[in-house]
Structure 1
Amino acid sequence: MASKAELACVYSALILCDDDVAVTAEKMATILKAANVTIEPYWPAAAEAKKEEAKDESESDEDMGFVKDDKGIPTIEKILSTDKPEDGVDPFEETRRSALDQALREYLLRLLTKSEDEIKEIVSWSIDLGKQGLCTASMPSVLLSDALEMLPIDQCESLFSILEEKVEVWKLEPFFSACKNNLLRLCNDLLRRLSKSQNTVFCGRILLFLAKFFPFSERSGLNIIGEFNLENLTAYGDDSRDDGELVAMETNGEAHEDTKPQNVVSFNLYCKFWALQDFFRNPAQCYNRLPWKKFVQHTNEVLEALGSMRLDVQHFRHTSDAPQNYFPKYLTNGKLLDLQLNDGKFRRYVLVQFIIIFHYLQSPVKFKNEKQLLTDEQVEWVKQTTEKIYKLIAETPPEGEKFLQSVKHFIKREDLWNSWKNDGCPKLQPPTAKVSESDQKKTTNADASNLSPGKEHKRLKRPRRPLGDQIKDAVARKKFNLGNPALTRLWNLNPDNLAGCRSQDRKFVPSMEDYFAEAIEQLNPKAQIEPQYKKVNNADFQWRALRLLAAQSPHFFMQNQLIFPSKEFLEMTLQKVAKELPRFQHQEDDDDEEEEEQEMEEEDTEDAKKLKPEEEKTVEGGNPSRVTLVDDGIIGKLAPVLGNNWKVLAKKLGMKDDEIEYFENQKPDSATEQAEAMLKTWVDSDPEDATVETLYYWLEGLQLSDALKAAFPSSS
């Protein structure tokens, strides 16, 4: 808010202006004195100086040439023709540059209704002006963004050529730093407007431009964390034909049925083939047990079908000169699958998808979950299947062997990309030139010839770089320099120190069986070890043993060790632990313990003899007494009665939430089929525990009486 003195000066100046009197400090002071307004004497002089400064600025604006035409647009020729001051410093450079930027944008609006060549010309003009510093460096990208936002797609495709032609210009300074965000936003906006099926070529041109424009180390162009496009769903519908129906073959435009078709694709294979696209879309689900089982089954059947179909090499030789067509979307009609599997390009698409997913499942990606690891059995299956796919690719014409070598080359490059991203995307450095052996010998001989006889050659010490420069270089490479080479190397073994601490290699805690082996043997009276030599009396051993028991044994918490000395508590706990460790289960115990075991065995034998005549019967209450496995007959009786209660039973049988969700998605319309699939999976995955006794126990515990009566009629 203005002060009292400022307001007084303003009002006095206004009075003088109304009377057409020159505004001076003396006249302003006279008016203030007549009005009995007391202010500091310097205020009128300051107001007059400010007025003169504003007058100079208005006169300089007129001299700059900011003359507007009849439509209010500044005249560019006037702006550019204005000479700079003699000292070379233009105090109005920013104002001049802003005015030129606005003039260019206004002029572009006029050209939008005219030819595209004129739009390209003004963009080229803005590039030349930006090189001379007459307009802002980001103006070319701003002009292109304005034009592409308002033009239709067909004109955008033609105008986009100026971006491709001047890609080397955009990579130069000052355009790269000023335009890279605008160009990235411009390309993303275009991709959102385009259709991937109708504007496939234009989308590819945009992606290629981004790949050429941004350097390899630009993180905005990298999929660092390995995300997948989960929205890319492949829809396939029902097929009206039967499994054994012959496929209609077309010859010369007329359809007829061949009595003996070479390949007949069943509806079952059709569904399994297109269901694999869901695994290609989201490979991470293969790390779960049930999806992996489904993926292996479908893959084996599809590869077997592809191996049984031999392609006509002569046909591909005749059609090699035909124009190359690219189809961005799959046609999933069931009647086309026979033709697709006999098409060389289509087979290559599918086989390369298998190679990509197998490579991802085995590749060490930094951002993978710790549980996303394949077992040894799964790794072996992947290796064998990969060899089959390589063989199929090599047999697929035209030039199968050459195409296979290209695929292997791209896989090796993908390994290098993964390694680079795992290291935190360090800055790429050009390889250093290697000195040949001959040049090294010449240099060595020249140095030897320069030595004086009888004098030892003193090696010149290389000047040591300042520590500050070393730290700056390390920070630029996202490394840490600790001042010691050994510590620096140890600290930088893993870019992510927290991930390094969670590594499996750091779990060097010994097992209880190895650590307590000697102490347990010393506790045996037959060993006759004197108390002072027992490890349980060692304070260091006691402390480590209690920590190990607290981490790995429940016996540590079953008694309150605070009421016992550490030695006595450790002895009691080790005796309990020894009974559970495999190494000590077969050792001889005391005589009293042996007698007790014999008595227990005799009692068990008598009980078994009593129960043996009634093996095939059920005890009171209906619970089956004989250990029998669950068969398809019991599953067939139980599944229709369970209904939606199968989910509760599945959790009791050890199924996880993702597995339950998998059964629901497989058979969404039938609870009976869901229950039947869950029970069969339980029997296949856990044959030892999938017994009638276990099933009866959980059904009785869940109070599912109807299910009990259906599965075990004798229990009613």
Structure 2
Amino acid sequence: MTSYDKEIDRLQGLVLDALRQHTLPEAVAQQLVHASFPDAVVSVSPPAFKPLPAAQQEQLTNALHAAAAQLLADAKAAGQQVMQYKLEPGREQAAVAELLDAVLWLAPQTPSPLDIGLPAQLLEQITEGASVQECEGVFVYLDSRTATFKSPAFAEMRCKNTLLRTCNMLLKRLSKSANAMLCGRILLFLAKLLPLTERSGVNLGGSFNTDNATPVEDVQETFFSNPQVALQPGKWGEVSRDIKRVLDKFRLEKVTVGESAAVASLRDATFRRHFLLQCLVLMQWCERPRQKDKAGLRAKLLEDMQELRARVYASLESTPDKGPQFAAAIRHLMQARPRLCCLGGQLGGLEAKARALQHRCSGRPEPPAGQSQLT
């Protein structure tokens, strides 16, 4: 074993000792730094540190990664899930959560002995080492720290890119059918974490999902999945007719006995908003198609579109809860980001942001970590 490896082992032992002796993140972090490199501690109260030389920072970083790997191995040996394994019975949090919280507290200190990107890197490592069954527990922790990762201290894109990579890794490992709720929660987390213009959330190539064939009564789903069809001769009349037909159904106050589930769902606010957003995106694309596609609608048809768009916004405003506020926010997004909203005729990042907005417009607090946000 080299002297470097011995130093990493020494620091790893100090990490685990600090975790065993303390539960508060700041106490764990302060003891770790003081025991590892006493000169890095400027003041205990209030806590103040100074940056470590590059070599020492690398050693401490590697020791923290080694400690995380050790906790993963210990959890497996104990037959427990990684986010349930505790160093001692009766402790409030899992050992991995205590380690992450200590690093989350220490990394944004100004100055700090750690790199600001380390918390996200440790989360990525833990996600890679966790089984599929353990993934939900890891994500519940991540979701519960959303406010921390959205704070200015973690504003650097390399932090967010690591979290994006971690979430994409989770999505690839999870089953879209068996883990549908968890996949949805991960997408909502990314919608809250990343800006609307994040490249990973938009259809940069403007591609259409022409294989999408969702059978819906009286609605031409073809136009939503492939907006180019709406620009073909005589097709806009079908689009306008079908949208108006649905808008007329939205005005119904009662659902009569014997109606199909598809018709009854028209009274559902989430379904309405989803459909109306699709209509707005479709119309905006037809109004401003990509250069390689055909020209937009002729003047007479554009007049019909403006009238139809006004009806769609009116329907959005009448959809509870807080319909006027929701409609105003969507109008702002459509006007401020016209190209983003038109890419591929798909909602992309707009839909995820709109869902988060819809939840806020409901007047209810966001569900706590571990509960679905898709209900």
Query: Does TM-score exceed 0.5, indicating one fold?
Result: yes
Aligned counterpart for 2:60 among listed residues 84, 88, 97: 97
How far off is 1:376 after superposition? 1.3
Q: Is the 8 A contact 2:167 2:186 kept in 1?
A: yes
Please name the residue that 2:282 is paired with.
357
Query: Are residues 405 and 145 of structure 1, via their aligned partners in 2, closer, same or farther at CA, if it must alter by over 3 Å?
Result: closer
Q: 2:146, 2:101 → 1: CA distance?
A: 13
Aligned counterpart for 1:340 among listed residues 237, 262, 266: 262
List alignment gaps of at least 5 residues for structure 1: 1-57, 237-268, 317-335, 423-716
Report the AA paired with residue 167 of structure 1.
T
Report the AA paired with residue 378 of structure 1.
L
SS at match of 2:59: helix
Q: Is the 8 A contact 1:120 1:162 kept in 2?
A: yes
Query: Are residues 299 and 199 of structure 1, via their aligned partners in 2, closer, same or farther at CA, if it must alter by over 3 Å?
Result: farther
How far off is 1:75 after superposition? 2.2
Please name the residue that 1:106 is paired with.
69
Q: 1:183, 1:390 → 2: CA distance?
A: 35
Q: Is the 8 A contact 1:137 1:175 kept in 2?
A: no
- TM-score, normalising length: structure 2: 0.60
The yes-or-no answer on 1:162 pairing with 2:82 is no
Q: 2:8, 2:262 → 1: CA distance?
A: 69
How far off is 1:391 after superposition? 6.6
Please name the residue that 2:165 is paired with.
185
Q: Is the 8 A contact 1:123 1:143 kept in 2?
A: yes
Within 5 Å, give how 1:347-386 maps onto structure 2. Answer: 349-362=274-287, 364=288, 368-369=291-292, 371-386=294-309
Within 5 Å, give how 1:166-315 maps onto structure 2. Answer: 166-170=145-149, 171-173=151-153, 176-196=156-176, 199-215=179-195, 219-221=198-200, 223=202, 225=204, 227-228=206-207, 230=209, 233-236=212-215, 270=217, 273-274=218-219, 276-289=220-233, 293-297=234-238, 299-300=240-241, 303-304=244-245, 307=248, 311-313=252-254
Query: Are residues 135 and 390 of structure 1, via their aligned partners in 2, closer, same or farther at CA, if it must alter by over 3 Å?
Result: closer
How far off is 1:230 after superposition? 0.9
1:152-193 deviation line (CA, Å, top 9, x unaligned): 455323322332333343344467354222111111122333
Q: 2:238, 2:175 → 1: CA distance?
A: 35
- TM-score, normalising length: structure 1: 0.34
Query: Are residues 173 and 339 of structure 1, via their aligned partners in 2, closer, same or farther at CA, if it must alter by over 3 Å?
Result: closer
How far off is 1:409 after superposition? 4.3
How far off is 1:93 after superposition? 1.6
1:226-255 deviation line (CA, Å, top 9, x unaligned): 72551661244xxxxxxxxxxxxxxxxxxx
Alignment coverage as a number of residue pairs = 294
How far off is 1:281 after superposition? 1.4
Please name the residue that 1:425 is paired with.
none
How far off is 1:280 after superposition? 0.6
- Percent sequence identity over aligned pairs: 21
Q: 1:125, 1:352 → 2: CA distance?
A: 42
Q: Between the two structures, name the one with larger relative contact order (CA 8 Å, sep ≥ 6).
A: 2
Query: Are residues 147 and 215 of structure 1, via their aligned partners in 2, closer, same or farther at CA, if it must alter by over 3 Å?
Result: same
Report the AA paired with residue 230 of structure 2.
C
Please name the residue that 1:151 is paired with.
130
Greater shift after overlay, 303-312 or 97-106? Answer: 303-312
Report the AA paired with residue 280 of structure 1.
F
Q: 2:75, 2:249 → 1: CA distance?
A: 59
Please name the residue that 1:122 is paired with.
99
Query: Are residues 307 and 108 of structure 1, via their aligned partners in 2, closer, same or farther at CA, if it must alter by over 3 Å?
Result: same
How far off is 1:383 after superposition? 3.0
Please name the residue that 1:524 is paired with.
none
Within 5 Å, give how 1:646-661 maps onto structure 2. Answer: none
How far off is 1:338 after superposition? 3.5
Q: 1:410, 1:385 → 2: CA distance?
A: 16
